[in-house]
Structure 1
Amino acid sequence: MSRFFNIQTDAEGVCTIFLYGDIGDYYEVQSGRVARELLEAEKAGSRIHVRINSNGGDVYCGIAIYNAIKNSKADVHIYVDGIAASMASVIALCGKPVEMSKYARLMLHSVSGGCYGNKKEMQKCIEEIESLEDSLGDIYAARLGMTKEEVKATFFDGEDHWLTADDALRLGFIDGIYDAEPVPAGSTPEQIYTLFNNRLTEPQNKSKMNLEEIRKHPSFANCKSEEEVIAQAQAYAREAGRVAGLENENNDLKTRLKEFEDKAAADEEAARKALLDAAEADGRINAEMRPVYENILKSNPEEGEKALKALAPKRKVMEDLKVDPGDESPWSKRMKEINNKLNKQ
């Protein structure tokens, strides 16, 4: 069995990878994890199914996932099961081909972001957002046969553009529509997203799962008959028997991994605190600026440390006055001279 729990492989060697959740290195859909899963899936077979149910997330992480899938040597088919919103809609475009459930939704909108600082720093943030919209506009334009300017004028206008499967097919975002389990009429995008996320882990009939329900699971998508479903289920049962002996070892490894991750997180937090304390102590930053640089250090420690080092410390006058033990400081002497003159008057 694959050591990647997010990959499911059927009897014919088709691997399925689930991009279910928000995109970002601190969320469910992480660029490094997806890239490793793709490499593992390529070893297992020549065809990969990528199933998407995501509200979007970090643009840079999403671009990395887009490039990883786009450059895969495998035959990648993408399926939008529930929602492919924001950055997830960009990832969906690299399918070869891409299909949507007739109940699913695609959503496009302008890039969002924020910053803290003076007007020059804010202008840089705006320029970065505009640059990202240029890049994403190129990706959409290549798929839709539109110019980048047409894409930006149509979809990057500050509004959310929700598309049904029919809309997406008509505009050229997808190559086809597939059936899925019925979704209640009038369901909101949030309800569709939650519904498909739950179906990833929960059977629709908790007391009894019949053969038809099993066939709806992605692992049995290529089974053409009941006999093939049963054969596939038996294969999984045999694999489960082999895995039983490894369960304790796997739990131990996960416990050790959690300990290492916790220690690494604590060390990173301590290092950030030390840098920020030192910067605040010598006047490079104040209490109001501290959260800004803390966020920079969290997202990009190397750049954050460089930014702090580039700030000039604010030295106090008293720090430059060296007084030998037992002597009066120049400040005290001067104040005494002023008081003596005032007393004589």
Structure 2
Amino acid sequence: MKKRYFNMIPSPDTACILLYGEIGGFDGISDKDIVAELYEYASMYKNIDIRINSPGGSVYAGMSIFNALRSSEADITIYVDGIAASMASVIALCGKPVYMSQYARLMLHAPYGGCYGNKEELRNVSDELEALEDTLADMYASRLGKTREEIKDTYFDGKDHWITAKKAKDMGLVDGIYDIKEKVEAQSPQDIYAVFQARLKNQTFNTDNSMYEELRKRPSFAACATDEDVVRMLASLENKAGQYDAVVKERDGLKASLDGYIRKEKDARELEIKNLLETAMQEGRIAPASRDAYEAILKQDFENGKKIIGSLPGKKSIEDVLDDHAQEKKSSWNENWRGIQEKNGFK
């Protein structure tokens, strides 16, 4: 593997991804890496912990991380270890369960930026900042149960709004406060950020190839040479799984239709057998005591059974007997009459 993720802490059953540093910064949090990492680990772990200590950064990079966390099917829990400021606070409030350290801070404010150019370019940047305000206000509003305008009036007033863990919990911004073992000697947000950032040096990260070597034992991943290859293979398998589900659904629908046709055909055949047996008994071809035996024959081999019943002689009614006798008498008289005519010279 030519690339290793630097911010994954190994665990037997839970993946832990650190969002430590500036979002979109050169040496900070890469949205591309975080999103790829999230999808990869979501296929291997049921539970994923996201731990945040970030002063914020690029709004657009933060949005891609926000959407990836929000749409992931993994059981994600977010922990604010130090600070979640600016865009990092938006990510922290993406709709997943979020807990803060008792020393942690959230910070909300309006987006800001700068540009160099002519008046039209400056106006375009201003318009974009206003649009971003609306978007970010909607993101906060969905967590706080407030309107866009309420968020903008309260937090987008040109000031930085720092919120402690206790206040955040009382406001409903976070779900709870978790305790840490040692006391943190820090008061300002900058000090808190520095303390937790320093802990990176003491973390054991996932820098070996054990996970990937385990994957490469599987036939589908044997040819993967890079992390990107693994992610592409996982995406391909996910796509195939979706196609499989669609085929299964179609198969179940066709099977249900086929079962319906089979039931109708069976009902029609049973009715045909019933009518055939009733007619055969009426015609005297079979006796009532033999009905069950002939029914079994018809169910086993309908066509041949039908031929057998059709070949059985039927009983003649008294009318049929009288008609046969009359025909015989008529035939005898005709022969005698012709004999008399010939005898007397008539032809």
Q: Same fold, TM exceeding 0.5? A: yes
Query: Hey, what's the Cα distance between the residues in 1 that align with 2:23 and 2:181?
Result: 25
TM-score of the pair, normalised by structure 1: 0.57
Q: Match of 1:110, SS?
A: coil
Q: Match of 2:94, SS?
A: coil
Letter in 2 for 1:60: Y
Instruction: Provide the residue aligned with 1:194 in structure 2.
Output: 194
Question: CA-to-partner distance for each residue in 1:230-289, whole Å, 9 max, x for gaps?
Answer: xxxxxx99x69x99xxxxxxxxx99xxxxxxxxxxxxxxxxxxxxxxxxxxxxxxxxxxx
Checking the alignment, whether the CA contact within 8 Å between 1:7 and 1:41 is kept in structure 2 is no
Checking the alignment, whether the CA contact within 8 Å between 2:103 and 2:184 is kept in structure 1 is no
Instruction: Provide the residue aligned with 1:58 in structure 2.
Output: 58
1:170 and 2:175 equivalent? Answer: no
Once the two structures are TM-superposed, the CA of residue 218 in structure 1 deviates from its matched residue by 10
Instruction: Provide the residue aligned with 2:10 in structure 1.
Output: 9
Query: Hey, what's the Cα distance between the residues in 2 that align with 1:218 and 1:6?
Result: 6
Query: Hey, what's the Cα distance between the residues in 1 that align with 2:143 and 2:102?
Result: 20
Instruction: Provide the residue aligned with 1:301 in structure 2.
Output: none
Provide the aligned C-alpha RMSD in A.
2.9
Q: Which has the higher contact order (CA 8 A, sep 6+)?
A: 2
Once the two structures are TM-superposed, the CA of residue 3 in structure 1 deviates from its matched residue by 4.8
Instruction: Provide the residue aligned with 1:29 in structure 2.
Output: 29
How many residues are aligned here? 214
Query: Hey, what's the Cα distance between the residues in 2 that align with 1:192 and 1:110?
Result: 22
Instruction: Provide the residue aligned with 1:324 in structure 2.
Output: none
Query: Any unmatched runs of 5+ in structure 2?
Result: 215-224, 227-347
Once the two structures are TM-superposed, the CA of residue 186 in structure 1 deviates from its matched residue by 5.1
Greater Rg, structure 1 or structure 2?
2
Instruction: Provide the residue aligned with 2:100 in structure 1.
Output: 100
Checking the alignment, whether the CA contact within 8 Å between 1:103 and 1:180 is kept in structure 2 is no
Instruction: Provide the residue aligned with 1:143 in structure 2.
Output: 143
Once the two structures are TM-superposed, the CA of residue 56 in structure 1 deviates from its matched residue by 0.3
Letter in 1 for 2:31: S
Once the two structures are TM-superposed, the CA of residue 19 in structure 1 deviates from its matched residue by 0.3
Give runs of aligned pairs for residues 293-308 of structure 1, distance below 5 A: none
Query: Hey, what's the Cα distance between the residues in 1 that align with 2:77 and 2:100?
Result: 11
Once the two structures are TM-superposed, the CA of residue 119 in structure 1 deviates from its matched residue by 2.4
Query: Hey, what's the Cα distance between the residues in 2 that align with 1:74 and 1:202?
Result: 27
Give runs of aligned pairs for residues 225-236 of structure 1, distance below 5 A: none
Checking the alignment, whether the CA contact within 8 Å between 2:6 and 2:205 is kept in structure 1 is no
Query: Hey, what's the Cα distance between the residues in 2 that align with 1:89 and 1:165?
Result: 13
Checking the alignment, whether the CA contact within 8 Å between 2:8 and 2:205 is kept in structure 1 is no
Query: Hey, what's the Cα distance between the residues in 1 that align with 2:81 and 2:57?
Result: 17
Once the two structures are TM-superposed, the CA of residue 76 in structure 1 deviates from its matched residue by 0.6
Query: Hey, what's the Cα distance between the residues in 2 that align with 1:49 and 1:183?
Result: 23
Q: Match of 2:43, SS?
A: helix
Checking the alignment, whether the CA contact within 8 Å between 1:16 and 1:218 is kept in structure 2 is no
Once the two structures are TM-superposed, the CA of residue 34 in structure 1 deviates from its matched residue by 0.2
Query: Any unmatched runs of 5+ in structure 1?
Result: 204-216, 220-235, 244-252, 255-345
Query: Hey, what's the Cα distance between the residues in 2 that align with 1:69 and 1:81?
Result: 18
Q: Match of 2:137, SS?
A: helix
Query: Hey, what's the Cα distance between the residues in 2 that align with 1:45 and 1:113?
Result: 38
Letter in 1 for 2:5: F
Letter in 1 for 2:9: Q
Q: Match of 1:44, SS?
A: coil
Query: Hey, what's the Cα distance between the residues in 2 that align with 1:193 and 1:25?
Result: 16
Question: CA-to-partner distance for each residue in 1:92-146, whole Å, 9 max, x for gaps?
Answer: 0125200000110000111111112232221111110010010000000000011
Q: Match of 2:53, SS?
A: strand
TM-score of the pair, normalised by structure 2: 0.57
Query: Hey, what's the Cα distance between the residues in 2 that align with 1:26 and 1:116?
Result: 21
